[in-house]
Amino acid sequence: MKVIRELAQPLRGIIPPLVTPLASHDQLDEPGLERLVEHVLAGGVHGLFLLGTCGEGTSLSYPLRRQFVERVTAQVDGRVPVLVSITDTSYAESLAMARHAAEAGADAVVLAPPYYFPLPQADLLQYVLRLNAELPLPLVLYNMPSLTKIAYEPTTVHRLMQEESIVGLKDSSGDLAYLQTIRQLTCERPDWTILVGPEHLLARAIDLGADGGVSGGANIWPQLFVQIYEAATLASDTAMTDQQEILHHLVDRADDLGQIYRLGSVTAGSVVKGLKSALSILGICNETLAEPLGPCTPSERARIEQILRSIGLTPSRTPNRSASGLPA
């Protein structure tokens, strides 16, 4: 009989997709990683997501992925849940990473569809069911069709909800109608978690019933996204005008921060480049990216620094040094 470690409680809140600080293409920036983890935890986040898109997980060697998971789980030491992506084109490697994550002390694993061979939904469903039957940790589905070219269609999600050890969905499709459909299905699973990926949709998604967000910008300014989550949760329960005004102000600040992703065409790669450059400017961790991504140009880095300064974030005043979480 399968023995699975259960989550202490349903996942809720802001769970940053932690970037992977690198000293070289296959070496961790260990001091930077330590600073980054403490930085986001000090910002009040509710969990960490490792080896996702912002973490460049699919670009890292397997030994480096395992080392990263070990170091983060050891440093977090149970303070918040740690989720680990096991997405891969190889069933065996996904299972091996899940087992390693469990041994390291992670709390759940995350799985996007395998991203090379196109799969019909029937095959995707059977793949997830087979893998889930062997997993030692609860599973969160990851809907990222722009990168995997395959979506978890609502009928597939509905079937997978019947598996007790599958506990939620991270939706990065940007399709709020899809999110609403999934939310409607969850009446059968009150413990089910829906997390939204695109941070510009965080407040709207919570209003539609999402339970939180996997917001890349929380690597830089964690308090802001925690405050958006709290304000949006409160605003969805009340019609108070002052709460709506507070939420609009917070969302505007997040949009200002989001300019660091828009120096060219907005892609997953541009988001990672913007995040790592900003973290480097703030003195938190190294800017090195995993191949095949290349670094920001000097002009792009200068523009990112200008954006950070315009919202009150500078190397001498990182977000965690502001008592309010909102730099002047």
> 3-state DSSP call for residue 82?
strand
Q: Which of 164, 168, 138 is nearest to 152 (CA)?
A: 168
Can you tell me which residue has the tokens 């930085």?
39
Q: Which of 2, 91, 116, 170 is catalytic?
A: 170
Using CA atoms, how far residue 240 sits from 166, 205, 211, 251, in Å, is 36, 19, 21, 17
Can you tell me which residue has the tokens 């909102």?
326
* Rounded to 5°, angle at Cα 13 from 101 and 239: 165
Q: How many other β-carbons are positioned within 10 Å of the β-carbon of residue 244?
A: 15
Euclidean distance between CA atoms 38 and 18, whole angstroms:
12
- Tell me the H-state helices in 4-61: 30-42
Q: Which of 2, 91, 142, 152 is catalytic?
A: 142
Q: Which of 300, 325, 306 is nearest to 256 (CA)?
A: 306
Euclidean distance between CA atoms 231 and 234, whole angstroms:
5
Partners of 194 in the β-ladder: 169
The two tokens of residue 318 are: 């990182």
Q: Which of 59, 153, 151, 49 is nearest to 101 (CA)?
A: 49
Q: How many other β-carbons are positioned within 10 Å of the β-carbon of residue 231?
A: 21
The answer to whether 170 is a known catalytic residue is yes
The two tokens of residue 154 are: 């609502």
The answer to whether 2 is a known catalytic residue is no
What one-character-per-residue DSSP string does 297-309 give? Answer: PHHHHHHHHHHHH
Q: Are the CB atoms for 217 and 261 separated by under 8 Å?
A: no
One-letter identity of residue 322: S
Active-site positions? 142, 170
